[in-house]
Amino acid sequence: MLSQASGRLGFNVVILDPEENSPACRVSQGQIVAAYDNPTALQVLGKACQAVTFEFENVPARSVEILIEAGCEVAPGPRALAVAQDRVDEKSFLNSIKVPTTAFAAINDLGSLRAAVASLGAPALLKTRRQGYDGKGQAWIKADSGAARAWAAIGAQPAILEARAEFVRELSVICARGRDGDIAVYPLGENTHAGGVLKTTLAPANVGSQTKAQATRIARKILEGLDYVGVMGVELFEMPGGRLLVNEIAPRVHNSGHWTQDGCACDQFEQHIRAVAGWPLGPTAAHARVEMTNLLGNEIKAWKALAADPAVRIHIYGKREAKPGRKMAHINRILPLARSRPRSPGPARKS
């Protein structure tokens, strides 16, 4: 989708991906088939491209540094990537710029885990420091006695323990910063999950002006704190009383921003390319309300019926195999854009 947006703006795109004939390759001008840390491939990519970006945060930060050392323009930069790759570093950075998060502790062994559970209390959520997404690499500790079992479940590797957050709902904000420091923020989305995987995003979310302003302040602090260039997704917990905590940041276009493809004149993918290329940022106002739904695994088989619905726009990724829980596509259901009062907080949920 980044490549398709690039094409609309007149750019040619080369993809570096270890998967031959990847979905992105099929809508790009070329592909280098190699590992993300292959030095020869990085050299070829740097010579072929005027600017380089990435679309997920498991790319080695060192690869970005190598490209920059060779004189290539890369955005976002290596610091943002490195911070987002390590959950302890991420939360430590957020707290250092006065952005609130849940309480947490770094975990290096079973002893430190037991001490952290005693300090933070149970239930608490144990996550691997690196890798892991969509519910993978994490385990709940529901009582002090569950520490050993959770430690084994995540593979006894460096981790973070997060205190439970009694939040009302999860929101997210898609934001962008250009090379000139200009910042653009999209309307907030309200997210629901199933099995640890994002299922739907409704945007613009039904929130008040104070919540919007609070989310914008948070987004600005993060973008400026990282000297960031590009689009970023920021996941937020709305607490009782309206306070927002940051759950995670993603240094890339984000699943909860897919609604912008059919709800905004300039979607998150075009916005990211604009920022990376040094263009002015595009408008972020919504012209429609959208409910984005991920199609996971065999749900893609309903594509024909969904494509027949006049209110639905379907975006299929072209992945070869539909595995359980794998994101195969998403739909954007267009809803009337009506003004409404902020939703009253419902029963609290737990992170």
For residue range 318-341, what is the model confidence (pLDDT) as tens digits?
A: 998 999 989 999 999 999 876 544
Q: Average pLDDT of 38-43?
A: 94
Closest to 64 (Cα-Cα) out of 49, 55, 52, 56: 52
**Residue 133: is its pLDDT beyond 70?**
no
Identify the pLDDT of residue 130. Answer: 87
The span from the first CA to the last CA of the chain, in angstroms, equals 30
Confidence of residue 347 (pLDDT cuts 50, 70, 90): very low
42 vs 349: which has the higher pLDDT: 42
Identify the pLDDT of residue 343. Answer: 53
Identify the pLDDT of residue 344. Answer: 47
Flag whether the pTM goes above 0.85: yes
Q: What's the rounded Cα separation, in Å, for the pair 161 and 287?
A: 40
Q: Are 15 and 24 in contact (CB under 8 A)?
A: yes
Cα 346 to its chain centre, rounded Å, is 25
Q: Average pLDDT of 65-89?
A: 92
Structural domains present in the chain: 2-74 (3.40.50.20), 103-163 (3.30.1490.20), 166-350 (3.30.470.20)
Name the strand (E) or helix (H) holding 259: none
Confidence of residue 252 (pLDDT cuts 50, 70, 90): very high
Closest to 251 (Cα-Cα) out of 235, 236, 274, 267: 235
**Residue 278: is its pLDDT beyond 90?**
yes
Q: What's the rounded Cα separation, in Å, for the pair 36 and 20?
A: 13
Q: Which amino acid would we find at residue 240?
A: P
Closest to 91 (Cα-Cα) out of 125, 60, 117, 121: 125
Distances (CA, A) of 241 to 167, 216, 318: 10, 18, 43
Query: Angle at Cα 250 formed by Cα 17 and Cα 289, nearest 5°?
Result: 105
130 vs 202: which has the higher pLDDT: 202
Identify the pLDDT of residue 341. Answer: 46
Identify the pLDDT of residue 83. Answer: 94
Confidence of residue 296 (pLDDT cuts 50, 70, 90): very high
